[in-house]
Structure 1
Amino acid sequence: MDDQRRIFLATASRLGALAALTSASATGRAQNRDGGHAYPFSLGVASGSPLPDAVIIWTRILHDPLNAAATPRLAFSVRWEMAEDEQFRRIVAKGAASAAPELAHSVHVDVTGLRPDRWYWYRFMLGDAVSPVGRTRTVPAASGMPKQLKLAVASCQHWEFGTYAAHRHIAAAAPDLVAFLGDYIYEWGPYQLRHPKSAVRASESFTLADYRARYAQYKTDANLQAAHHAAPWIVTWDDHEVANDYGNEQDERLDPRFLQRRAAAYQAFYEHMPLRLTPRDFAHLRIYQRYDWGKLARFHVLDDRQYRADLACPPPGRGGSNSVQPRTCPALTDLGRGMLGREQEQWLAQGLSSSPARWNILAQQTLMAQNSQLPVVKEGDGRFWTDGWDGYPAARRKLMDTLHTSRASNPLVLSGDVHSFFACELARNPSRPASPDNPLLATEFCGTSITSPSRPQTRTEQYVSMNHGIKYGRSDKRGYMLLTITPSDTSAHFLVLDNVHDDASPIARAAAFVVRDGRAGPVRA
């Protein structure tokens, strides 16, 4: 039996047990072996930020997911173990970490001294309680060229709009790595532990306690826990981890206290993610990071929310997004309006120009290809949504110039946010077809949402017909992307659920594309 098959069977066998465990802990019935207390690992475990010799493992001590007060405001000493086998016969590292109330009793352990390109298993213990077992891995050595990397890509999982069946399929696919590109939580909805049949707009999150409760709600889901238990994650945020369509220090409400809300949301994000960060100055938490997968791939994980210029031409009396035409919104084409901020732009340019990787992957939030809502025949035509890269065309052009001058090998953009699949070509001038004077510079794969709804498919087909760079679009289905990256090519499968409201929904391939080494642009497979 090969390793991938063994991993698949082991993962599948754990799903049923995990579902039972999560259900019991969510209703307060799960107990320690002494029978005296609710289960403290109700949110499961996770790992992420992998390096050749280290990985972050995470958990949070929370006895009642909807009642943080049930966990005493004391620091707990949480034991942890890392092993080379799932039965923990060959333990390679162990220790204890403090779960402090100031950080919501979260635990982030940077397990070091590991071997490159290896799978490991980990768990936590508090008293007699033992956490679920998670599976994680280190990345290959910097000098190595791996044969392949299996990458799952997901985003946008509003609790209110369906089940997390897609995460069940991510776990069963046994990826090497999961990239989550934002909207891990949404800021509104009743605090309840079952996905509703229909959405209820209520209980918006504003405070640190609110955001902590929102993450706790989401992380009780058995399928989401299974996806975290299956592989390490790399993550970034988008807007809904804080508030819809915010940019930098401005939200839709034009709230003068928004920076306080953003700091609370950023802190809760850190507390619930397996990130290698120093927990300080949450109002300005830097999350853009870089990860190498040997010489096969370099991941440039971006933050296009925190440093962007204010959104152009918002609706009267408020902030946030709008759909505008360039001729009536001069701010749209202002050359000074950035998306990433100067420091992050310089960091990205350096990372691209120095990259030894065969594939340079920009893991970021939103669709980068131009997606005009009206035909573009001449300069000034079109109508553009201002929250995405279309709202920052000068910043996008600058990024294309950086890709060109860096000579980085095989730039590949991964995107989320728009709740649709797109396969795209990226050129410096997106309003013109690719040509020798307007060469293709990168390929983009944009994934649909785990649950969040989108526009009708007929409208998406109109967008595809009006925009040169978009070669495929699908907006009527929920799911995720599964990429296989090799030295010679990258293939992307767009995987769709039959019914997002059915926790047992099957999944199928809607489309597949391949990108060849040295040739930008997706080819239908």
Structure 2
Amino acid sequence: MTGAPSTDRRRFLSAGAAVLGAAASAPRWLPAAARTPRTPLPEHVFGLGVASGDPLPDGVVLWTRLAPDPLNGGGMPRRVVPVEWEIAADERFAKTVRRGVAPARPEHGHSVHVDVRGLLADRAYWYRFRVGGRLSPAGRTRTAPHPHSRNRALRLALASCQNWQHGYFTPYADMLRQDPDVVLFVGDYIYESAPSATAVRRHEGSGEPHTLEQYRNRYAQYRTDPELVALHAHTPWVVAFDDHEVDNNFAGEIPQNPRRQRHHAFVARLTAAYRAYYEHMPVRATAVPSGPHIRMHRRLEFGRLVRLNVLDTRQFRSARPATQARAKDPARTMLGARQRAWLLDGLHHSPARWNLIASQIMMAEADLRAGPGKLWYCDAWDGYQAERNALLKELRRVRNPVVLSGDRHLTMVSDLKEDFADPQSAVVGAEFVGTSVSSNGDQDQAAFRAEWDPRRADNPHWKLVDAHRGYHLFDVRRDGIDARVRIVDTVARPSAVTGTLARLRVEAGRPGVAVV
């Protein structure tokens, strides 16, 4: 993955760009059984689009979901439906390299997850699905470099927090034009909030989702956003969930408000939410939920350049601290013992030049009280300080660590300090907290500055703080990471003016980040 534009990589910038060519050649690639006449399914059976994710050097996950009536449970018959799939080396599908049939099962919302293997490393591929006489839009994906490859560059886009009601997903149109090798989405893919009459776009349903069908409907609504559909069809994604995929600020099996949700009811809600999450994400079978549990922490390699450690900061954490003092309790955990050991082992034995950590919530300290004393937002790592500080000490022995996170609905770029209580403490890494795609809508920038600028003196490790909507774009090379904060002027309408708010640089072998 070079990260640089090329002719063949730029040709496919639309979810449906290859549909006409695909339709013309369809009979050549269908198995004999698939050519048998069947009752045609509704025209919009592929209305939620296609996607790919978790690229490997020899494979990638392909996804779609059959849902002709997406906001009403999907609209599919209660039976298993065989779906043909094909992946090719060219956008006209003249060079098919793999094909097969996958079952779309009613118990999985008629979603399809194909874990394709046997592909060549660091290559672009095109894929599509067919069922009941209907052909899906074509998608484009890319495999990771060979494990021993000293690839020159990787272009990665960081996104999070896309609230349907707060605005259109306009940053994705610009992200598509920037042609990243991979999109890293670190949480809040949907919001569980009830419909609002004053919203830019109104959530479906009549309240918060609790059942499997209600979560399916909410995901399906988000999956109809045209910018999101197009980007999923163009670039492989690596995804993680945060709290709003289930319930705001939940921790393990503890809801935000235990008095309003009894334990057995919340476990049922977790079970439904995790099932719907799996059904709508391009992830492997290792992520198939088991009741109220789902395996999402995992590791992806991009040659010898990047190791990406994707964390799960929700399922294994202790309850959110009720007081500031309890944020320092050494018994409190964000990751749980097994995940923490897994992370440290992966960091200390990494062959990669850059070790990226995808954390759904902010790791650097954010002292929200201007002047004497401290005030922390305890749903983030500030609420789990003993474990956070121990991890930061370990980063001193890790090669080029960089944390990529979200959640805060703002851009906050920081140096990571070994001890935030000591201003003279060593810098051990860098963190990029990506702004939201649409959450919080178009903020009043003057009001934001009036609130946040007085806090800068108490947080000298902050390098950039801003409240525009957008995403972060990284060009990772062996000598350094060049980052751009890409923003839009509005999410209140379907189109926006885009631009670069800031450029930043992380030098290899020199912990920390600088504004260019």
TM-score normalised to the size of structure 2?
Answer: 0.90
Larger mean Cα displacement after TM superposition, 346-355 or 498-507: 498-507
- Residues 9 and 124, structure 2, Cα contact 8 Å, conserved in 1: no
| 1:303 aligned to which of 309, 312, 328 | 312
Q: 1:367-411 CA distances to partner (integer Å, 9 max, x unpaired)?
A: 11110111465xxx201111111111111112112222xx22100
2:163 aligned partner:
158
1:517 aligned partner:
508
| 1:258 aligned to which of 266, 270, 283 | 266
Structure 1 distance, partners of 2:378, 2:247, is: 16
List runs of 5+ in structure 2 lacking aligned partners: 20-37
1:451 aligned partner:
438
* Secondary structure of 2:389's aligned partner: helix
Q: 1:130-169 CA distances to partner (integer Å, 9 max, x unpaired)?
A: 1111111111111111110000110000000010111111
Alignment of 1:315-464 (within 5 A): 326=324, 330-375=325-370, 381-404=373-396, 407-433=397-423, 435=424, 438-453=425-440, 456-464=448-456
TM-superposed deviation, 1:13: 5.4
Larger mean Cα displacement after TM superposition, 249-258 or 85-94: 249-258
Residue 10 (1) aligns with residue 18 (2): no
Q: 1:476-511 CA distances to partner (integer Å, 9 max, x unpaired)?
A: x10011100000000110111011112210211111
List runs of 5+ in structure 1 lacking aligned partners: 19-32, 314-323
Relative to structure 1, the CA distance from residue 94 to residue 199 in structure 2 (aligned partners, 3 Å threshold; closer, same or farther) is closer
Relative to structure 1, the CA distance from residue 9 to residue 416 in structure 2 (aligned partners, 3 Å threshold; closer, same or farther) is same
Residue 83 (1) aligns with residue 83 (2): no
1:25 aligned partner:
none
Relative to structure 1, the CA distance from residue 447 to residue 36 in structure 2 (aligned partners, 3 Å threshold; closer, same or farther) is closer
1:317 aligned partner:
none
Residue 143 (1) aligns with residue 130 (2): no
Q: 1:265-310 CA distances to partner (integer Å, 9 max, x unpaired)?
A: 1111111101113324141111000001000000000011110100
Q: Which letter does structure 1 place at the counterpart of 2:427?
A: L
Residue 241 (1) aligns with residue 245 (2): yes
TM-superposed deviation, 1:524: 1.2
| 1:471 aligned to which of 449, 454, 463 | 463
1:55 aligned partner:
60
Relative to structure 1, the CA distance from residue 400 to residue 103 in structure 2 (aligned partners, 3 Å threshold; closer, same or farther) is same
- Residues 487 and 501, structure 2, Cα contact 8 Å, conserved in 1: yes
| 2:217 aligned to which of 213, 216, 233 | 213
Identity %: 40
Structure 2 distance, partners of 1:149, 1:503, is: 29
Residue 95 (1) aligns with residue 100 (2): yes
Relative to structure 1, the CA distance from residue 138 to residue 8 in structure 2 (aligned partners, 3 Å threshold; closer, same or farther) is closer
Structure 1 distance, partners of 2:162, 2:361, is: 15
Structure 2 distance, partners of 1:135, 1:472, is: 34
Structure 2 distance, partners of 1:132, 1:212, is: 21
* Secondary structure of 1:264's aligned partner: helix
| 1:224 aligned to which of 211, 225, 228 | 228
Larger mean Cα displacement after TM superposition, 440-449 or 368-377: 368-377
How big is the alpha-carbon RMSD for the aligned residues of Structure 1 and Structure 2?
2.4
1:26 aligned partner:
none
Relative to structure 1, the CA distance from residue 444 to residue 105 in structure 2 (aligned partners, 3 Å threshold; closer, same or farther) is same
2:290 aligned partner:
281
Structure 1 distance, partners of 2:40, 2:67, is: 17
Runs (4+) of structure 1 exceeding 6 A deviation are: 15-18, 33-36, 198-201
Aligned length: 487
Structure 2 distance, partners of 1:113, 1:340, is: 34
* Secondary structure of 2:513's aligned partner: strand
* Secondary structure of 1:113's aligned partner: coil
Alignment of 1:489-500 (within 5 A): 489-500=480-491
2:24 aligned partner:
none
- Residues 312 and 335, structure 2, Cα contact 8 Å, conserved in 1: yes
Structure 2 distance, partners of 1:201, 1:99, is: 25
Structure 1 distance, partners of 2:82, 2:202, is: 41
Structure 1 distance, partners of 2:231, 2:51, is: 9
1:501 aligned partner:
492
Structure 2 distance, partners of 1:448, 1:11, is: 27
Q: Which letter does structure 1 place at the counterpart of 2:338?
A: E
Q: 1:409-443 CA distances to partner (integer Å, 9 max, x unpaired)?
A: 1000001000000110011211322x4xx211110
- Residues 188 and 202, structure 1, Cα contact 8 Å, conserved in 2: no
| 1:184 aligned to which of 181, 185, 189 | 189
Structure 2 distance, partners of 1:86, 1:172, is: 18
TM-superposed deviation, 1:9: 4.5
TM-score normalised to the size of structure 1?
Answer: 0.88
Residue 70 (1) aligns with residue 75 (2): yes
Relative to structure 1, the CA distance from residue 200 to residue 48 in structure 2 (aligned partners, 3 Å threshold; closer, same or farther) is closer
Structure 1 distance, partners of 2:41, 2:356, is: 49
Q: Which letter does structure 1 place at the counterpart of 2:392?
A: M
Q: 1:342-380 CA distances to partner (integer Å, 9 max, x unpaired)?
A: 010000011011100010000111111110111465xxx
- Residues 301 and 364, structure 1, Cα contact 8 Å, conserved in 2: yes
Structure 2 distance, partners of 1:69, 1:332, is: 43
Structure 2 distance, partners of 1:242, 1:300, is: 22
Residue 203 (1) aligns with residue 217 (2): no
TM-superposed deviation, 1:333: 1.1
TM-superposed deviation, 1:195: 7.7
2:471 aligned partner:
480
Q: Which letter does structure 1 place at the counterpart of 2:77?
A: P
- Residues 431 and 468, structure 1, Cα contact 8 Å, conserved in 2: no
1:319 aligned partner:
none
